[in-house]
Amino acid sequence: MDTEKEVARFSSYMIGERKSPHTIKEYKFLVSLFLNFINKNLETCSTDDIENFKNYLASVKKYSKSSQYLAIKAVRHLYKSKSITPLVNLTVPKRPRKMPNYLSEKDASRLLEEASRKDLKTSVIISILAHTGIRVGELCNLKISDVDLSEGILYVHSGKGDRDRIVIIPGECKDLLSEYLPQRYRSGNGNDALILSRRGSKFDSSTIERIVRKLGNEAGIGKKVTPHVLRHTFATAVLRNGGDIRFIQQLLGHASVATTQIYTHVDDSTLKQMYEKHRPRY
């Protein structure tokens, strides 16, 4: 079996399915891992091979339940790409529902303040992430034309699950973008990405991750700060301030409200306030 050829064919299928570049990269790696492990054509793969692969992920690769979930999901997509019915034991394990890691509003404010001491581009990056909750990949894919300052919105195209949506930007974020856009227009070079790197290309997710993590350290925040932590911070703050769960679902671009429900279990102070307001009065 030619693993490289199979993975390349699978990659083409994923592109046709309009999966995100991040998902394609992740699934290609996991499918390659599976094919190299079974070392046979998919049509001849047995339930024993599947069980051995599951054990390999858990005992040899030491994958977490979340990583095992993604690996099996990727393999199921491989079966689908070849129009083969998955074997009965090719089932995904339940992922643990971990409490999201988020910043207090005080720490988020410190991060924004630290960003304001840097260059304008850094301030724009942190402000958009903190005030809209968009994913880091969505930030990297924003174009100049996706910014509508008169309406105070950003258009997010082909987000996760290939869904388009709009997100609201508050006044402080609009002010930064109003200052940044003329600077961005002057840079020219024909690239329409909103955030440009020093090389004149759009930022990749790993670069934004490094910027945010470094800024968190410089702000003296005692926990690891990432773009996804800022996404959790945004959702938690909106909920704490009375935002409806379906409103938060739309802002975050979740396909199901079940994904958004995790934020209802996050904030202890909100939980206590709600309990005090609605508790039984015996």
Q: Which of 27, 63, 180, 263 is catalytic?
A: 263
Catalytic (active site) residue 18: no
Catalytic (active site) residue 254: yes
Catalytic (active site) residue 279: no
Task: Retrieve residue 75's tokens.
Answer: 């393999």
DSSP E strands in the chain: the ranges are 147-148, 153-156, 165-168
Q: What is the number of other CB atoms lying within 10 angstroms of the CB of residue 169?
A: 22
Q: Which of 19, 131, 184, 231 is catalytic?
A: 231
Closest among 277, 272, 270 to 241, alpha carbons compared: 270
Catalytic (active site) residue 160: yes
Catalytic (active site) residue 82: no
Catalytic (active site) residue 210: no
DSSP-assigned letters across all residues of 56-119: IIIIIS---HHHHHHHHHHHHHHHHHTT-PPPTT--PPPPP-PPPP---HHHHHHHHHHHHTS-
Q: Which of 110, 135, 174, 232 is catalytic?
A: 135
The tally of CA atoms less than 13 A away on the side-chain side of residue 181 is 14
Q: Which of 157, 160, 165, 214 is catalytic?
A: 160
Q: Is the dihedral of CA 196, 197, 198, 199 positive or negative?
A: negative
Q: Which of 9, 28, 65, 228 is catalytic?
A: 228
Active site residues: 135, 160, 228, 231, 254, 263
